[in-house]
């Protein structure tokens, strides 16, 4: 049998040549650099994608793209792929687009063609209305390309903005990232990091030393601990690449593909009418004694599965995703275990951003309330508590998704209004019999109203008891229709599940506007 030829090459030769070129491209910067990556405890770009995607589902694009730079001898060093791996695949059967920076190729730095590869995948994700995940392990702009690299970043940033609120955008920081490689993640919906191996900063420790004379390590300047507990830049951190990528797979299961598909539905083995009698004794008899609000969340959502967002930041408020009857819901809850669940600037910002994400992607929001008010003090006021508190107020007020609120204990002052109250647009507002809804606690209120009786302890005690009976009972709010029903704590899951089912067709009408002007 005679083999067909093409310009002297047989088809077998051509296919072997393709295999060789693919193998070369898959090696990235070469085996020595791959070994160095592994020695740092990090996976390569392709290994990360393989872990993230369903087995065998990844389809790579632009494997053979190379940079076009001829400055500073760059024409002598060209590596297929140019430092980023791009393509699409599936996560539990759902289409997801991905790009992964390859640190073994020019340190993952961004060139003009590198940016064009990312732009292509961003455009495809937007056209297909599917989530996009960026895996970052990079050294910023490629210095040898100058403004061409900066222009490439600008194109990436613009697409981040256009896609915002249309498709979920997730960034996973798996190594050192600076400059443009932190600004793009900052515009995405969620950022996750790896402890002790990933860093985010606008300028690195050396530049900081030169400009401000501060001596600081990369970990101290922009490590996972800093960004998850202090700056709130990152939404979570894990110990290694494997755990981080598996948790991102878990998060994807909670998220809609886009802003019109609605929350995904997964089979659930939990019944909607499940009763948990332990909730009847969750709230202590002493109103000043804390309890763990996570217990209520886990006993309410399907199978106790709660994916917490920003767990290490502003711990006085909880945010995250759960499911009710198989469908995703966003959870916002005051945490009495930390600062008595008070609202401060950090908690307000954290919750406001989460509420706005849920609203953008049609995810219903369930709010559990136990809040004694806003945190007083000069530090809060000087730090802009008014504006930050208004962000949460604004976020709930503009939300058009189903809103269900459950007041478990305290709902005092302006914080009562802010936490998805009926007045702000709450669709169904429940209260437990232990709920206390008032301008402030009984003791503080009586001391203000009856200043002249301060010295008479018996009189103050009697007036305090009278105030509690008249104003702290949930039935006062229920009589005015501010609370739709006072419910048994053990029936919380059933009531929320039925409420969400009823609200599934909610279609509020709002006046036309180009966009709002949230108090940033």
Annotated catalytic residues are: 179-180, 414-415
Give, as one character, the DSSP assignment of residue 94: E
* The token pair that represents 203 in the structure block: 């300028």
Whether the CB-CB separation of 358 and 400 falls below 8 Å is answered with: no
Q: How crowded is residue 193: how many other Cβ atoms within 10 Å of its Cβ?
A: 31
CA distance 441 to 448: 11
Which residue in 324, 499, 302 sits closest to 406, CA to CA? 499
Shortest CA distance to 252 belongs to which of 117, 54, 45?
54
Spatial contact of 285 and 265, defined as CB atoms under 8 Å apart = no
Kindly report each contact of residues 220-225 with a partner whose C-beta sits within 8 Å and lies 24 or more positions away, as own/partner: 223/193, 223/195, 223/196, 223/198, 223/199, 224/193, 224/194, 224/195, 224/196, 224/198, 225/195, 225/312
Q: Is the dihedral of CA 368, 168, 198, 22 positive or negative?
A: positive
What are the residues whose beta carbons fall under 8 Å from the beta carbon of 485, sequence distance 6 or more? 430, 431, 478, 495
Residue ranges in 256-329 assigned as alpha helix (H): 293-300
**Three-state DSSP class for residue 84:** strand
C-beta separation of 435 from 474 below 8 A: yes
461 Cβ partners below 8 Å, 6+ apart?
none
Q: In degrees rounded to 5, what are phi and psi of residue 79?
A: -125, 125
Contacts of 284 (CB under 8 A, 6+ apart): 290, 291
Displacement of CA 368 from its chain's centroid (Å): 19
Distance CA 362, CA 402 (A): 9
């Amino acid at each position: 049998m005679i083999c067909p030829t093409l310009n002297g090459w047989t088809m077998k030769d051509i296919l072997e040549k393709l295999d060789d070129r693919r193998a070369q491209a898959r090696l990235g910067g070469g085996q020595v650099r791959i070994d160095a990556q592994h020695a740092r405890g990090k996976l390569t770009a392709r290994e990360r994608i393989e872990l993230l995607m369903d087995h065998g589902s990844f389809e790579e694009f632009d494997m053979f793209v190379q940079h076009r730079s001829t400055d500073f001898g760059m024409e002598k060093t060209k590596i297929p792929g140019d430092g980023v791996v791009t393509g699409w695949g599936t996560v539990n059967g759902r289409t997801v687009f991905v790009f992964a920076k390859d640190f073994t190729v020019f340190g993952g730095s961004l060139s003009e063609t590198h940016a064009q590869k990312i732009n292509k995948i961003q455009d495809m994700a937007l056209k297909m209305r599917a989530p996009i995940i960026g895996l970052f392990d990079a050294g910023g702009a490629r210095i040898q390309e100058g403004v061409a690299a900066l222009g490439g970043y600008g194109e990436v940033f613009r697409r981040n903005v256009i896609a915002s609120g249309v498709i979920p955008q997730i960034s996973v920081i798996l190594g050192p990232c600076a400059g443009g490689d932190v600004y793009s993640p900052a515009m995405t919906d969620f950022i996750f990091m790896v402890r002790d191996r990933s860093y985010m900063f606008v300028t690195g420790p050396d530049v900081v030393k030169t400009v401000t004379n501060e001596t600081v390590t990369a970990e101290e300047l922009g490590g996972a601990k800093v960004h998850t507990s202090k700056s709130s830049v990152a939404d979570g951190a894990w110990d290694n690449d494997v755990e981080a990528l598996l948790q991102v797979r878990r998060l994807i299961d909670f998220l809609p593909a886009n802003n019109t598909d609605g929350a995904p539905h997964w089979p659930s083995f939990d019944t909607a009418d499940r009763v948990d009698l332990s909730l009847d004794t969750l709230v202590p008899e002493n109103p000043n004694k804390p309890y763990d609000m996570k217990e209520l969340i886990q006993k309410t959502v399907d199978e106790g599965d709660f994916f917490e967002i920003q767990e290490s930041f502003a711990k006085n408020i909880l945010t995250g995703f759960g499911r009710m009857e198989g469908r995703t819901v966003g959870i916002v809850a005051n945490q009495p275990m930390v600062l008595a669940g008070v609202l401060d600037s950090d908690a307000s910002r954290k919750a406001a951003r989460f509420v706005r994400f849920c609203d953008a992607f049609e995810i219903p929001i369930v709010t559990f309330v136990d809040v004694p008010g806003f945190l007083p003090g000069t530090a809060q006021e000087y730090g802009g508590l008014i504006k930050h508190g208004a962000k949460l107020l604004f976020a709930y007020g503009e939300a058009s998704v189903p809103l269900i609120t459950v007041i478990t204990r305290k709902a005092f002052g302006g914080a009562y209004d802010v936490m998805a109250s009926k007045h702000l647009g709450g669709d169904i507002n429940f209260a437990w019999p232990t709920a206390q809804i008032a301008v402030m606690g009984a003791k503080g209120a009586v001391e203000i109203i009856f200043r002249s009786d301060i010295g008479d302890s018996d009189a103050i005690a009697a007036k305090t008891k009278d105030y509690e009976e008249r104003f702290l009972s949930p039935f006062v709010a229920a009589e005015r229709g501010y609370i739709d029903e006072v419910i048994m704590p053990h029936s919380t899951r059933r009531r929320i599940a039925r409420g969400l089912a009823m609200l599934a067709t909610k279609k509020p009408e709002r006046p036309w506007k180009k966009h709002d002007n949230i108090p940033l």
